[in-house]
Amino acid sequence: MELENLKSAWVSLDKKLEKSALFNDQLIDFIVNNQSLNTIEKMKKQNQWLFLILIVELLALGAILVGNPFDFNYAVQYLPFAFLTIIIFIAAVRLYTFQKRMNADLASHPLLTAIQNLLNYFKENKSAERWFGIISLSIGFLVPWSFLPQKIERYGVVRGILDIVIMLSVTAVIYFLAFRFGAFKNRNKEKLEQYLREWNELKALSNQINNV
């Protein structure tokens, strides 16, 4: 059988499909809700993964503090790692409470209100988040100094300090690249804001359909 013969069967399909029901407001509502829930589900999963990573980091830092794998000789060498442990612990707690709050909001409020609440949370905590970020990054610059005594012992004062400066430069470059590529942006907030915009637009569409 030739394809050309079957083409007419395909063209006749339009008549059948044109008899289907018109799109209605319920359908648009469903699509809006489903889209938003998918966004939030993705965010929740990302947070769960991030939480897991923080726990692994805490365990690794705990092992460093307890097991001394770098052969630190002075208590002060542990300080940057202790600060790092504290800051990661705080980050894990904050993430956990954020997730809990998000779940509670979603369970007790309509979706739109829950999203608005989350955006308000981001807004209220903007300054705290900023300081938390600055402190975290500063601690990153302290960590290389923990290795200074061993470096001096092994290579002498000048080369030891030079080694530390190189490590600090690498850290600075990593931070710069991370900043440049938007690693410090609150993508969750951006996604929710974008979603809220789309929601309002689609809601307007839904209302329009209701009025037709």
Partner 1 sequence: MEKDFLDILNTHRPLLFKVCHLYCDRSEDREDLFQEVVLQLWKSYKGFRHEAKVSTWMYRVALNTAITYFKKSKKEISSFSGWPGYEIPDFLDHTEPSDQLSQLYLAISQLDKIDKSVILLYLEEKSYEEISEVTGLSHSNVGVRINRIKTKLTNLINK
Residue 197, CB-side half-sphere exposure with 13 Å CA sphere: 6
Binds partner 1 (CB under 8 A): choice among 5, 71, 75, 158: 5
Name the burial class of residue 193, with classes exposed (0-12), middle (13-18) and buried (19+) by CB atoms within 10 angstroms of its CB.
Answer: middle
Nearest to partner 1 of 19, 180 (CB atom): 19
50 and 95 in contact (C-beta within 8 Å)?
Answer: yes
Q: Shortest gap between Cβ of 37 and partner 1 (angstroms)?
A: 5
63 and 69 in contact (C-beta within 8 Å)?
Answer: yes
Q: Shortest gap between Cβ of 200 and partner 1 (angstroms)?
A: 11
Does 99 bind partner 1 (CB under 8 A)? Our answer is: no
Q: What end-to-end distance do the CA atoms of the chain give, in Å?
A: 47
80 and 142 in contact (C-beta within 8 Å)?
Answer: yes
Does 107 bind partner 1 (CB under 8 A)? Our answer is: no
One character per residue 17-46, x = contact with partner 1 (rule: CB under 8 A):
xx-xxxxx-xxxxxx-xxx-xx--x-----
DSSP state of 2: -
Does 181 bind partner 1 (CB under 8 A)? Our answer is: no
DSSP state of 145: G
Q: What tokens were used for 180?
A: 């440049």
Q: Shortest gap between Cβ of 45 and partner 1 (angstroms)?
A: 10
Nearest to partner 1 of 35, 171 (CB atom): 35
Nearest to partner 1 of 37, 174 (CB atom): 37
Q: Shortest gap between Cβ of 98 and partner 1 (angstroms)?
A: 21
Nearest to partner 1 of 13, 66 (CB atom): 13
Nearest to partner 1 of 13, 158 (CB atom): 13
Q: Which of 165, 151, 196, 185 is nearest to 36 (CA)?
A: 196
